[in-house]
């Protein structure tokens, strides 16, 4: 048995999902971490335990998680115990400070948090295109509503979000189109990159039509290819640690894409 890494990610196995955001932070900074459910035998039970409907505070005083992902950080909890924190934006804010992905000063830190939250809102809205009524019901049982929701998402929400990020990238002169804030990589860049990557999978015709029409050139031509140049990201994306999209947030249902 090897010693556990300082950082242990608790998330569903086999999909990128919301676990991908902290994974990219680790890989972009070459920070060792344990992806528990994907690499530890029986690790899924640790994920289930931290978000169980009857889970309560652990012996270090950590409250249970509402939903995965959760992050365990050894030595950073109460009295030097293990900290367990949850909620993707909170995990990213915490890791941003630790891994130097949170900007150069307090102002950049606040902007990066806001921009990451906005990218995560787009992630959540993507999920709702195939589950507009109920997260528990099957897609097939809410397909009528999904068709309507997806049309609104493609026609109104994608241009609104992409238009916003295009303006932020262009307006940040220091970043030369590669960074949302300042002149170095932040967790907001990683969050936006992952959502654009996922949307290219889920809505390939919609994204290609917009890219081919010359929309959002900074996002598509400058930002998107630049992010994987950092740290270990290229190797990671080519490895089997990067899980394929399947039945998670980003799903490719051709009927929901541009027709």
Binding site for a second copy (CB under 8 A): 53-57, 61-66, 76-78, 83, 85-87, 89-90, 93-94, 105-107, 110-111, 113-115, 117-118, 121, 124, 128, 132-134, 136-137, 142, 145, 148-149, 152, 156, 160-161, 163-164, 167-168, 170-172, 180-181
- Check if the beta carbon of residue 123 is closer than 8 Å to that of residue 190: no
Nearer to a second copy, 131 or 243 (CB): 131
- Smaller CB separation from a second copy, 53 or 212: 53
DSSP for 51-118 reads T-TT----TT-PPPPSSS-EEEETT-SGGG--EEEESHHHHHHHHHHHTT-S-SSHHHHHHHHHHHHH
Q: How far is the CB of 46 from a second copy (least distance, A)?
A: 18
Quote the least distance from Cβ 26 to a second copy, whole Å.
17
Distance CA 16, CA 244 (A): 7
Q: How many CB atoms lie within 10 A of CB 57?
A: 10
d(CA 103, CA 109): 5
Nearer to a second copy, 20 or 166 (CB): 166
Q: Are 202 and 251 in contact (CB under 8 A)?
A: yes
CB of 30 to a second copy, least distance (A): 23
Characterize the bridge pairing of strands 34-35 and 7-10.
Answer: parallel
Say how far apart CA 202 and CA 145 lie, in whole Å: 17
Rounded to 5 degrees, φ, ψ at 207 are -70, -40
Nearer to a second copy, 165 or 243 (CB): 165
Q: Taking the complex as a whole, how short is the minimal distance between the CB of residue 210 and a second copy, in angstroms? A: 16
Cβ at position 5, least distance to a second copy in Å = 18
Q: Which is nearer to a second copy, 147 or 241 (CB)?
A: 147
Q: What is d(CA 198, CA 128) in angstroms, rounded to the nearest whole number?
A: 14
Closer residue to a second copy in complex, CB, 14/77: 77
């Amino acid at each position: 048995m090897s010693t556990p890494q300082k950082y242990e990610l608790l998330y569903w196995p086999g999909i990128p999902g919301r676990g991908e955001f902290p994974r990219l932070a680790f890989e972009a900074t070459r920070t060792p971490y344990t992806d528990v459910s994907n690499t530890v035998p029986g690790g899924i039970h640790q994920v289930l335990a931290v978000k169980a409907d009857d889970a309560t505070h652990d012996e270090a005083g950590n409250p249970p998680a509402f939903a995965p992902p959760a992050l365990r950080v050894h030595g950073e909890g109460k009295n030097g115990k293990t900290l367990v924190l949850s909620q993707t934006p909170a995990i990213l804010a915490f890791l941003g400070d630790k891994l130097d992905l949170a900007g150069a000063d307090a102002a950049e830190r606040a902007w990066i948090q806001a921009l990451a939250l906005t990218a995560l809102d787009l992630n959540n809205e993507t999920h709702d295109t195939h589950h507009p009524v109920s997260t528990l019901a099957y897609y097939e049982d809410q397909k009528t509503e999904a068709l309507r929701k997806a049309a609104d998402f493609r026609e109104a929400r994608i241009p609104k979000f992409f238009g916003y990020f295009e303006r932020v990238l262009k307006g940040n002169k220091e970043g030369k189109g590669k960074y949302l804030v300042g002149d170095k990589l932040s967790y907001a860049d990683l969050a936006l990159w992952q959502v654009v990557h996922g949307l290219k999978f889920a809505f390939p015709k919609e994204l290609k039509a917009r890219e081919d029409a010359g929309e959002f050139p900074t996002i598509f031509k400058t930002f998107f290819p630049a992010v994987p140049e950092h740290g270990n990201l290229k190797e990671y994306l080519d490895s089997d640690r990067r899980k394929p999209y399947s039945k998670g947030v980003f799903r490719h249902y051709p009927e929901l894409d541009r027709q």
